[in-house]
């Protein structure tokens, strides 16, 4: 298949991109890893493609007092190699090393992945896991929205047709903590059949806060708030005693050509247990270094 005809705008500034986006049926393109296949199969037929890849201000990573601000054009590989991200949120760098292959990691962006909203992709899971807020701008307005309100369903977000994602605010984690990420795939680089990430904050061996999120288990990444509440206040040496039913009640996977709903429900509890156990081990390892 070949794409239908479209006009092309190579925007040099954010204002130019936003002004062009006021045209009917216009679409934003940056890395193009999600949009180009849709256009080639004519699942998307924009009248105008607005290339924002030259807008420098969208490619920055900024360290501030309580957060990291990551521009929407930061590529997967930039995030992997960023010293600031590795220092403050190493789970991001680790998880993205499991994203697709080198060519895609060099081109795909955090903004593109978030806007595409595949519930099996790494960035949506990380954005939800880390309580990220998303800075969105249109020609006349700007707003900030929490991740839990941004992802609506599979491939659907709260982003309006005349809006661009400007950046992502990731709060720094304040306490001593351990982290872990795991995903089950058919082949290296594939989208996850099931994935999970966790952050466990610890003080004197007591879990004072936790974040636990899964991908491939529903129409959006799912925060397992019930499990977070169960383990809060527990000693890291204790047995969590979380049953399979407690895990499964929070999951809502579907079947597709890659895996059945039953398979995802079968592997899900073990993957979640793994990231909880490995987060605590990660904390112990870092503490002993």
Residues contacting 120, CB < 8 A, separation 6+: 191, 192, 193, 195, 215, 216
pLDDT at 4: 87
CA distances from 227 to 150, 154, 222, 249, 281 (A): 22, 23, 12, 11, 18
Domain ranges, ordered by start, for the chain? 7-51, 57-171, 176-288
Start-end of H helices in 71-223: 76-81, 83-88, 90-96, 102-107, 110-116, 122-129, 147-150
CATH class of 7-51: alpha beta
Residue 267 CB neighbour total at 10 angstroms? 16
In CATH, the number for domain 176-288 is: 3.30.390.50
Global confidence as pTM:
0.95
Under-50 pLDDT residues of the chain: none
pLDDT at 175: 86
Residue 101, CA atoms < 13 Å, CB-side half-sphere: 4
What is the sign, positive or negative, of the torsion defined by CA atoms of 254, 258, 260, 264? Answer: negative
pLDDT at 1: 65
**Four-way CATH pick for 57-171: 3.30.1330.10, 3.40.190.10, 2.102.10.10, 3.30.465.10:** 3.30.465.10
pLDDT at 277: 97
pLDDT tens, 43-71? Answer: 889 999 999 999 999 999 999 999 999 99
């Amino acid at each position: 298949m070949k794409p239908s005809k479209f006009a092309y705008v190579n925007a040099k500034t954010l204002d130019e991109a936003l002004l062009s986006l006021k045209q009917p049926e216009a679409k934003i393109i940056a890395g193009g890893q999600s949009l180009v296949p849709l256009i080639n199969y004519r699942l998307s037929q924009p009248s105008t493609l607005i290339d924002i890849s030259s807008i420098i201000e969208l490619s920055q990573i900024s360290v501030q007092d309580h957060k990291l601000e990551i521009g929407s054009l930061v590529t997967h590989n930039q995030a992997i190699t960023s010293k600031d991200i590795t220092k403050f949120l190493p789970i991001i760098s680790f998880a993205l090393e499991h994203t697709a292959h080198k060519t895609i990691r060099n081109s795909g962006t955090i903004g593109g992945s978030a806007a595409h909203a595949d519930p099996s992709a790494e960035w949506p899971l990380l954005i939800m896991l880390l309580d990220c807020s998303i800075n969105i701008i249109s020609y006349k307005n700007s707003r900030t929205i929490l991740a839990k309100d941004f992802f609506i369903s599979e491939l659907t977000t709260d982003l309006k047709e005349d809006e661009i994602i400007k950046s992502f605010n990731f709060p720094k984690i304040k306490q001593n903590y351990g982290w872990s990420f795991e995903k089950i795939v058919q082949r290296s680089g594939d989208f996850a059949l099931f994935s999970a990430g966790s952050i466990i904050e610890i003080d004197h061996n007591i879990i004072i806060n936790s974040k636990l999120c899964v991908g491939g288990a529903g129409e959006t990444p799912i925060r397992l708030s019930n499990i977070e509440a169960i383990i809060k206040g527990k000693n890291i040496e204790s047995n969590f005693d979380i049953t399979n039913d407690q895990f499964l009640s929070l999951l809502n996977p579907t079947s597709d050509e890659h895996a059945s709903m039953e398979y995802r429900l079968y592997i899900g509890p073990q993957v979640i247990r793994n990231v909880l156990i490995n987060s605590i081990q990660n904390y112990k390892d870092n503490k002993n270094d």
